[in-house]
Amino acid sequence: MANCNLYHDKRRSKKNDLYPIKIRITHERKSKFFETVFSADEPEYAKILSGLRLDAEQKKTKSKLNELLKKANDIIEDLEVFNFETFTTRFKNTGDRNNLLDIIREKATSLKEEENFANSRLYFQSADLIERFNVEQKKSKSLFVRDLTPDYLKAFQKWATGTNYIIDKNKDKLIKTYSVTTLNMYLTRIKAVVNSLVERGELHISKNPFGKGKYIIPKSRSAKRPLEHAEIMSIVNYQCADANEIFARDMFIFSYVANGMNFYDIFKLKWSDIKGDAFYFIRQKTSTKLPDKQIRVFLNPKIQSVIDAHGSRKLGNNYIFNVVPWGATKDVEQRKIRSSISTVNMKLKKIATSLGITSDISTYFARHTFATMMHDLGASINTIRDVIGHEDIKSTQSYIGSERTEKLREFQEKLIN
């Protein structure tokens, strides 16, 4: 991963005999320097770095330099795969209302300022991927709004579904193309930006490339296959030696028996959410649209055993599971949770391989399996929607849209008999 720091460039002084202070970005033993408006002699630079006994002007300089370092670190963190060109575009923050990529990144920056980090990251990634396509196919880093046509989008889709998104030195050993699901997330955000341009009168509605008879954003047709009951039980009974595997197994089962609870909500669960024989929470994903929609989960023995095994009571920290520091910023909170989910998914795949479960398992399988099991047990779609906290019943229907192997075998046996 790239890193950044301050660099006092003493190769050439300015007219006032001061040396410029720059931001140095290093990645894979290569460095690139970015100018700032600040300069200092050697004693003053050392003083600014130490932060001790600074006068008012030096304090202001140090504060501005820290802001630049934070901006650089945030960009590095957001980049799915680091490269200097994309970093430079974001860091210099140059914008052109005719360049769609600048407009998308402007939206991403706005969302980041609102602390909507997950959505911001997807806007940045969609702009990065479009830029990569444009550089490879059009030999240009800019994409004029007028050039975003249905044919352009179709060519982009074909390119992305056949393009390896591993672009580092291991790309020849590991081939991973962009999935339809990932493209759907990116293109949905590009469409939202285009629609906003139409609404503001910056683009005529006839020039909108999205819609019926134009370009339709692809949707994944692969059904979300839930686990079979026997597969769930094999995970429950799986004997782990590694602490991270134990945590992954137990959190997966916790999600499954706790109404298919999303891992983000699990890691934000507080001791104060437990009231009597149940705990109550509001889904983070729908909290802005359904702020009063509380979901109740009864404390069955399995849930209680996971809380007893992994719950942590720390002074000044009300979270049950020790993943998010109490009082953390939204940015830090999301990074900690993403990192934990990534570790859990890696360990789940290892467990699944050991058990002969062929599905490309992830944390979301617990949620889909819960919904399907509820349906099998006779719960209505509306009941399932309420207990898992969906805003739209169509989302619930997509969870249980395919029959499981056990049911299909039962139906086939009935046909024969």
- Written as one letter, the residue type at 45 is Y
Judged by DSSP in three states, 160 sits in helix
Domain locations in the chain as residue ranges: 3-78, 94-207, 229-416
Q: What distance lies between CA 147 and its chain's CA centroid?
A: 29
Per-residue pLDDT, 6: 95
Residue 4 confidence (pLDDT) above 70 = yes
Written as six digits, the tokens of 209 are: 């490339």
Q: Give per-residue pLDDT as tens, 157-208.
A: 999 988 876 555 454 555 567 888 889 999 999 999 999 988 877 788 989 9
Per-residue pLDDT, 408: 61
- Written as one letter, the residue type at 72 is A
* Partners of 24 in the β-ladder: 5, 33
Per-residue pLDDT, 171: 47
Chain mean pLDDT for the chain: 87
Residue bearing tokens 């009300």 = 318
CATH classification number, 229-416, choose in 1.10.443.10, 3.90.650.10, 2.40.480.10, 1.10.10.10: 1.10.443.10
Q: Give per-residue pLDDT as tens, 357-400.
A: 977 899 999 999 998 888 888 888 888 888 888 887 777 777 77
Other beta carbons within 10 Å of 219: 9
CA gap 346, 359 in Å, rounded = 13
CA gap 112, 109 in Å, rounded = 5
Written as six digits, the tokens of 371 are: 């919904």
Residue 271 confidence (pLDDT) above 80 = yes
Residue 134 confidence (pLDDT) above 60 = yes
Q: Mean pLDDT over residues 330-358, rounded?
A: 92
Q: Give per-residue pLDDT as tens, 289-335.
A: 777 789 999 999 999 999 999 999 888 889 999 999 999 988 899 99
Q: Give per-residue pLDDT as tens, 58-84.
A: 999 999 999 999 989 888 887 767 888
pTM, full prediction:
0.65
Residue 153 confidence (pLDDT) above 50 = yes
Question: pLDDT-based confidence at 125, cuts 50/70/90?
Answer: very high
Q: What distance lies between CA 351 and its chain's CA centroid?
A: 24
Residues whose CB is less than 8 angstroms from the CB of residue 141 and which lie 6 or more positions away in sequence, other chains included: 85, 89, 101, 131, 134, 135
Q: Are 330 and 278 in contact (CB under 8 A)?
A: no
Q: Give per-residue pLDDT as tens, 181-191.
A: 889 999 999 99
